[in-house]
Chains A and B, each alone.
Chain A
Amino acid sequence: MIRQLRSELYALRTTPGPWLTMSAVAALHLFLVAVIGSQGDPGAAWHGLGPSAGELTGYPMLLLGVVAAAQDHRFRTIVPILLTTPGRRRVLAAKAACVAMVATVAASVAQTVWLAAAIRRHGGAAMHTHQPGDLLRLYAVTVGGVVLLSLLGVALGAILRNAATAFAIVPIGAIAEAVAPPARYHGPFTSGLAAFGPRPGPGALFLTGWTVVALAIAVVTVARDVTD
């Protein structure tokens, strides 16, 4: 499993797609931190830390997960990969672990950037720096939510085997959920919008559920034939 994980990390860092994604995420965060900074009210700023870092990192990580899982089919690298590692679930698990690791790093860095900006404006006390438990919870929710979104992306890519289809489904699904109140923040594509912050809404639970369901489907469908 270690070999597969190392190979997946090597694969990610030797193509431009992930670097471009990470660069775009970094630029987006830096731009928003510089322009918007944090909320004027310290309380609102504290509550906004998680959603700002989580949502702006989580959805790009979802797309990165889709690309990581689907591009092997697009470029047919899946063939030599399965010839060296015939266990399809091991390949999927290694890919999921690799993307989750990247998501963890990205979420941690993003949360730190937003937290630092808020401390600079409102001071450490307002940002609970004297309460390690609160900070730990903030980071855990942000990292957990971003990792869940990245895993949802891996599952989508593995199920669809086609990044373009996934890229079309995600925004269409999100819009459809947004206009239907019962599905808003409960469906697979909008639950991530209510999954962050010191007191995450119902989205966290639903995002976890949808990710588990999607991964379960991926685990089953990954056994499909690999034809031309």
Chain B
Amino acid sequence: MPVITIEGLTKRYGDRAVVDRLGFTVEQGSLVGFLGPNGAGKTTTLRMLLGLVRPTSGRALVYGRPYRELADPARAVGAVVETMTAHPRRTARHHLRMLGIRVGVGARRVDAVLGLVGLTDAADRRAGGFSLGMRQRLALAAALLGDPGVLVLDEPANGLDPEGIHWLRGFLRSQAAEGRTVLVSSHQLAEVQHTVDQVVIVAGGRLVAAGSLDDLRSRASGRVHVRSPEAERLAGLLAAAGATVRPAGPGRLEAPPGWAEHIGLLSAEHRIPLFELREDAPDLEEVFFRLTRTAEDREPR
């Protein structure tokens, strides 16, 4: 059974569908990037999953049940959906103790999570004086209080400096290494592509792609770049072989991906000199933009 199941999930505000019949699943132990441009419906989806926002229709389930029906939700799911969720006049330790009482954990666990996120030295400082990175760590500490098996994080890297982002990547990897299921949203593929192993991409409130990063790479449209003094003759031979080639300047051609070897063989066979034969590496970012742009360009909902 999937840990997280989203089925036909829809949220409408008036006539506008912020999330539109969205569906995907997250399997146990996976580290999933929930991606989409700003306004794609990621935050609303996560809030519906966590029972903070009521869906117009559809279901969002954790371990097969709505979040509100989980017997001890903080021990099942740890979530960060906002950065500053502590009273500014309350210390980090008091904030976590206040939540810990609800979760049913004591001062020892509070100390442990403060250590996990590197806030031990700041534990008795008021949250109002925290930097954005420290607030993010405090929110993560709160999410970890119940030692949950699932982590749901909404744009955790937002506003973090490079050091904070580096720390966050390590943190996410360590959580996944401990067997936790992690669903982390971002509007930038580059931010999570070295961390996650699965992606769910949404745009305009709709699902546009879901699968492994390798699946996504296979959709990347790299081009083969050719430079030859006999480019015109080579283009004719390639066209006869079934490739759609296009000129890219004097003595230059562009061929579809996967044709590099064929072009090498053809040029050797016909004694056509090649000055350059290069295939673009798959550009995930380009695939991401293409997928999300296409979805956003659809007719208005």
Measured CB to CB, the residues of A under 8 A from B are 3-4, 6-7, 10-11, 14-17, 71, 75-77, 79-87, 223, 225-228
Contacts and interface: CB of A to CB of B under 8 A. Distances in A.
Contacts of A85: 102
B87 A71 contact: yes
17 contacts: A7-B102, A10-B97, A10-B98, A14-B97, A75-B85, A75-B88, A76-B84, A77-B95, A80-B85, A80-B99, A81-B102, A82-B52, A84-B102, A86-B70, A225-B47, A225-B54, A228-B43
A4 B143 CA distance: 17
B268 interface: no
Task: Please list the 3 inter-chain residue pairs (A to B) with the smallest Cβ-Cβ separation, ordered nearest first.
Answer: A7-B101, A86-B68, A14-B94
Contacts of B73: 83-84, 86
B223 interface: no
B138 to A, nearest CB: 10
A83 B90 contact: no
B27 interface: no
A84 B53 contact: no
B52 A16 contact: no
Contacts of A81: 99, 102
Interface in B47-68: 47, 50-54, 67-68
A74 to B, nearest CB: 9
A7 B74 contact: no
B151 to A, nearest CB: 12
B182 interface: no
Nearest to B86: A77
Contacts of B103: 84
Contact of B82 (A16, A84, A223, A228): A228
Contacts of A77: 85-87, 95
B79 to A, nearest CB: 5
B114 to A, nearest CB: 15
Given A79-B81, A82-B51, A14 B68 contact: no
B52 A226 contact: yes
B97 A75 contact: no
Given A82-B52, A83-B79, A75 B47 contact: no
Contacts of A75: 84-88
Nearest to A16: B89
B273 interface: no
B99 A7 contact: yes
B102 A3 contact: yes
B104 interface: yes
B9 interface: no
Contacts of B226: none
B50 A83 contact: yes
A84 B79 CA distance: 10
B200 interface: no
A225 B54 CA distance: 6
B142 interface: yes
Contacts of A76: 82, 84-85
Contacts of A227: 47, 52-53
B87 A84 contact: no
Contacts of B94: 10, 14
Nearest to A226: B52
Nearest to B152: A83
B104 A86 contact: no
B185 to A, nearest CB: 14
B54 A223 contact: yes
Interface string B143-160: 101100000000000000
A84 B84 contact: no
A87 to B, nearest CB: 7
Contacts of B74: 83-84
A98 to B, nearest CB: 12
Interface centre among A16, A81, A226 (most CB of B within 10 A): A226
Contacts of A10: 94, 97-98, 101
A3 B145 CA distance: 15
A52 B5 CA distance: 59
Given A4-B102, A83-B143, 6 more contacts: A10-B97, A14-B91, A15-B89, A85-B102, A86-B67, A223-B54
A80 B140 CA distance: 11
B52 A225 contact: yes
B86 A3 contact: no
Contacts of B104: 3
Contacts of A226: 47, 52-53
B156 to A, nearest CB: 14
A225 B53 contact: yes
A4 B101 CA distance: 7
